[in-house]
Amino acid sequence: MGPDDKLCYCFHVSCRKVQNFIRIHRPKVPSQVSECGGAGTGCGWCVPFIRRLFEMNQGESANVIESTPEEYAAQRAEYVKQNNKKLPPGATPT
């Protein structure tokens, strides 16, 4: 996936936005990244990827998602379905 592809489908937050938030605001713990447009507070699918971004050089540009945007979206849809996740209003549907 590229930097402008969605990382958080619930709140439409891109990888680049999260990386820039981490670089600029220097959160102390990964959970503080939720202040970046609510990323990670919806279905939970993107939380492991947010943690990886946080841990990798504190937001330096990195490709933490090896899938294509379409594969990532399909994996997220399967995660939501299997775990019976309730999506917040305005989230990209599965």
Q: Is the pLDDT of residue 10 over 80?
A: yes
Chain centroid to CA 22? 13
Is residue 24's pLDDT more than 60? Answer: yes
Domain that holds residue 47: 6-82
- Judge whether 17 lies within some domain: yes
Cβ-in-10-Å burial (0-12, 13-18, 19+) of 37 comes to middle
Residue 1 lies in a domain: no
Count the domains in the chain. Answer: 1
* 31 pLDDT more than 80: yes
Residue 42 lies in a domain: yes
Classify residue 40: in a domain, yes or no. Answer: yes
1 versus 8: the higher-pLDDT residue is: 8
By percentage, how much of the chain surpasses pLDDT 90? 73
- Mean of all residue pLDDT scores within the chain: 90
Higher pLDDT, 59 or 46: 46
